[in-house]
């Protein structure tokens, strides 16, 4: 004799079963869509017009890639495919925006060997993200050096072409270092075109105003566009003290155009919802 009594077939129990089935179907659909979106890379293409762009740099292509998070959720095969996709964008200058590894183990073995294949006609630069330092700062610095990619930590460099130049400054990660966009701005003339790169966009919340009119473009990642959002309009969790203000996309801070990239990879779970992975091609135009 069974110790369990059968559940009576009443309008209420039928409604509860239907509701449970709907929840299961919606949950399954969400994870299927989110897992699929996490692997669909898009290319965001924009022109940036500025009178500070030298004539020799008119039409120059800056490719920006952030938050790859190689490791458990993005293995060697996908990393190789990403490098191939980025190389097809025909970068003049390649800028990597940090968080190249995905956790606290295994990411370096995936990312750095493939990173050496990234191509750019003039230069390749990088800043570090918090995950790079957490997994191993020493390994990150050595890996980028082996890959031939110049690391910018509170430093400004020049890219030269046909007698003209632009400045590119990179700062340390906000969580694990001491970013100082104001100090490196001292090495920049207001009349030259200058790009500021920070892994974390929160640096822009105060330091762009303090740096005056030195920067013509600022680039960051870190937020993943929220990774899981309500149809791209609102993210329950944003890795920024400024909340939705620095969620994703093109913004302006003190007259400076800034780009906050959704990035490529994922953390915690390999899913994205209305926060599609992206890389960026920014074409400089002399205005």
37-86 tens-digit pLDDT? 788 999 999 999 999 999 999 999 999 999 999 998 999 999 999 999 99
β-strand pairing of 155-161 with 150-151: unpaired
The CA distance from 65 to 7, in Å, is 56
pLDDT digits (tens, 9 = 90+) for 158-198: 999 999 999 999 999 999 999 999 999 999 999 999 999 99
> How many CB atoms within 10 Å of residue 14?
10
Q: Enter the CATH code of domain 38-286.
A: 3.60.21.10
Give SS3 for 35. helix
β-strand pairing of 256-260 with 249-253: antiparallel
The CA distance from 9 to 145, in Å, is 69
Sign of CA dihedral 138, 217, 179, 132: negative
Q: What confidence tier does 19 reach under pLDDT thresholds 50, 70, 90?
A: low
> How many CB atoms within 10 Å of residue 212?
12
- Residue identified by tokens 């292509």 is 61
What letter would DSSP give residue 7?
P
* Domain spans, the chain: 38-286
- Element (DSSP H or E) covering residue 156: strand 155-161
Q: Output the pTM of the full model.
A: 0.90
> How many CB atoms within 10 Å of residue 208?
23
């Amino acid at each position: 004799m069974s110790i369990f009594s059968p559940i009576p077939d009443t309008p209420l129990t039928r409604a509860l079963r239907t509701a449970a089935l709907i929840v299961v179907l919606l949950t399954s659909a969400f994870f299927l869509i989110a897992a699929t979106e996490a692997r669909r890379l898009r290319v965001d293409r924009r022109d940036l017009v500025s009178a500070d762009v030298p004539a020799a740099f008119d039409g120059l292509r800056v490719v920006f890639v952030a938050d790859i998070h190689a490791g458990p959720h993005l293995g060697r095969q996908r990393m190789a495919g990403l490098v191939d996709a980025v190389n097809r964008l025909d970068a003049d200058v390649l800028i990597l925006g940090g968080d190249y590894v995905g956790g606290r183990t295994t990411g370096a073995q995936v990312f750095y060997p493939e990173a050496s294949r990234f191509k750019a006609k003039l230069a390749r630069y990088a800043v570090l993200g918090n995950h790079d330092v957490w997994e191993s700062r020493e390994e990150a610095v050595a890996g980028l050096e082996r890959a031939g990619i110049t690391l910018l930590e509170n430093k400004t460099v020049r890219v030269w072409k046909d007698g003209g130049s632009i400045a590119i400054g990179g700062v340390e990660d906000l969580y694990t270092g001491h970013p100082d966009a104001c100090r490196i701005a001292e090495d920049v003339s207001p009349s030259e075109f200058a790009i500021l790169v920070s892994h974390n966009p929160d640096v822009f919340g105060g330091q762009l105003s303090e740096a005056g009119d030195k920067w013509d473009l600022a680039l960051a990642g870190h937020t993943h566009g929220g990774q899981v959002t309500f149809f791209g309009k609102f993210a329950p969790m944003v890795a920024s003290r400024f909340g939705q203000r620095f969620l994703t996309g093109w913004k302006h801070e003190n007259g400076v155009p800034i780009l906050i990239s959704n990035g490529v990879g994922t953390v915690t779970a390999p899913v994205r919802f209305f926060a599609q992975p992206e890389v960026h091609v920014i074409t400089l135009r002399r205005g």
